[in-house]
């Protein structure tokens, strides 16, 4: 768990409007320690698929789920589109539904404000779609939480107190999201959430100070990933371990630089353009990581 952040208390995963999103507290006072959640219950049985009806892959998340790349905006080469190409070979007739929102945080995912949705927020939109298509959802993926952490990074250096506040809020919000999604979707779909790679590894290229920052950043991002891993697991989501796929912990020197730094330079725009988003090849690696978790 990151810097003492605790697993959040259970919110009833029924009405999506009954649990407010948690904003990071304004003060530096430590938050109260919430109780550990129970696993959300899904319906005992899901409606059987109806012959002739379409089946769906529902993609949720932040700018990674929209395929954003600098200078291009949202694209159709992001991981959901590439993953969809793989999944529809397994599931003929599969249709992709993307509801992700660039800039989304866990708080805005719940209460809205970043993108326009008929139901007010990405969470409400996901729950509406799941409830309106019983027995028709085959796959569900999500990436969320990266922007909660990124807002605490200044000049390639993490603001620790900001991270404590934001990660505590992230924990509660992420549980609200995945438990409600899991309750609405039931036992039929395959669910998967992802861990994040570490864009701050690019600081290695700036010299000794940057190399120290890069080394410090890894346990920080891995602590956040560990928190997300626990919450996804409690909601019976599989985990697409993108951090591992990007070899985040591997500081072995090859061709003059650590392997993890080379991965960030090749699979994101951080080294060339100081932009955290993946390249097309990076999105391919994320899609492959998701594909391995979905059955």
Confirm if 3 and 160 have CB atoms less than 8 A apart: yes
pLDDT tens, residue by residue, 38-49: 545 544 455 566
Helices (H), the chain: 79-90, 106-111, 122-132, 146-150, 160-185, 208-234, 242-245, 259-267, 270-273, 280-291
Is 13's pLDDT higher than 50?
Answer: no
Length of the chain: 295
pLDDT of 49: 60
Q: Compute the distance between CA of residue 6 and CA of residue 171 in angstroms, rounded to an integer.
A: 7
Tokens for 56?
Answer: 């769906």
pLDDT tens, residue by residue, 187-246: 999 999 999 999 999 999 999 999 999 999 999 999 999 999 999 999 999 999 999 999
- Which sequence spans correspond to the domains of the chain? 53-195+227-245+280-291
- What is the distance, to the nearest Å, from the Cα of residue 102 to the centroid of all Cα atoms in its chain? 12
Q: Compute the distance between CA of residue 280 and CA of residue 163 in angstroms, rounded to an integer.
A: 29
Q: Compute the distance between CA of residue 168 and CA of residue 153 in angstroms, rounded to an integer.
A: 16
Binned at pLDDT 50, 70 and 90, residue 150 comes out as confident
What values do phi and psi take at 282, rounded to 5? -65, -40
Binned at pLDDT 50, 70 and 90, residue 18 comes out as very low
95 burial type by CB count under 10 A (0-12 exposed, 13-18 middle, 19+ buried): middle
At the fourth CATH level, which superfamily is domain 53-195+227-245+280-291? SGNH hydrolase (3.40.50.1110)
Is 158's pLDDT higher than 80?
Answer: no
pLDDT of 170: 96
* % of the chain residues with pLDDT over 90: 76
Q: Compute the distance between CA of residue 1 and CA of residue 225 in angstroms, rounded to an integer.
A: 8
- Count of alpha carbons within 13 angstroms of residue 40, beta-carbon side: 28
End-to-end CA distance of the chain: 28
pLDDT tens, residue by residue, 97-135: 999 999 999 999 999 999 999 999 999 999 999 999 999
Tokens for 192?
Answer: 């998967």
Q: Compute the distance between CA of residue 170 and CA of residue 108 in angstroms, rounded to an integer.
A: 11
């Amino acid at each position: 768990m990151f810097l003492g952040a605790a697993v959040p208390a259970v919110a009833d995963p029924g009405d999506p409007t009954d649990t407010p999103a948690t904003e990071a507290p304004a003060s530096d006072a430590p938050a109260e320690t919430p109780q550990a959640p129970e696993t959300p219950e899904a319906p005992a049985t899901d409606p059987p698929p109806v012959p002739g009806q379409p089946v769906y892959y529902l993609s949720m998340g932040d700018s990674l789920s929209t395929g954003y790349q600098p200078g291009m905006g949202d694209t159709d080469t992001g991981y959901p589109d590439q993953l969809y190409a793989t999944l529809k070979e397994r599931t003929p007739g599969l249709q992709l539904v993307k509801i992700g929102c660039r800039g989304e945080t866990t708080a805005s995912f719940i209460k809205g404000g970043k993108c326009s949705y008929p139901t007010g927020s990405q969470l409400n939109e996901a729950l509406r779609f799941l409830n309106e298509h019983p027995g028709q959802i085959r796959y569900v993926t999500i990436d969320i939480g990266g922007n909660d952490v990124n807002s605490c990074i200044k000049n390639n250096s993490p603001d620790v107190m900001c991270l404590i506040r934001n990660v505590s809020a992230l924990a509660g919000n992420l549980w609200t999201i995945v438990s409600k999604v899991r309750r609405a979707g039931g036992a039929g779909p395959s669910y998967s959430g992802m861990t994040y790679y570490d864009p701050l590894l690019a600081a290695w290229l700036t010299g000794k100070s940057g190399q120290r920052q890069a080394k410090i950043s890894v346990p920080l991002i891995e602590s956040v990933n560990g928190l997300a891993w626990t919450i996804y697991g409690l909601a019976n989501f599989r985990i697409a371990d993108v951090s591992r796929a990007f070899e985040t912990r591997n500081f072995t020197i090859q061709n003059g630089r650590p392997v993890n730094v080379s991965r960030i330079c090749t699979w994101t725009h951080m080294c060339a353009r100081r932009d955290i988003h993946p390249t097309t090849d990076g999105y391919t690696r994320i899609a492959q990581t998701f594909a391995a978790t979905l059955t």
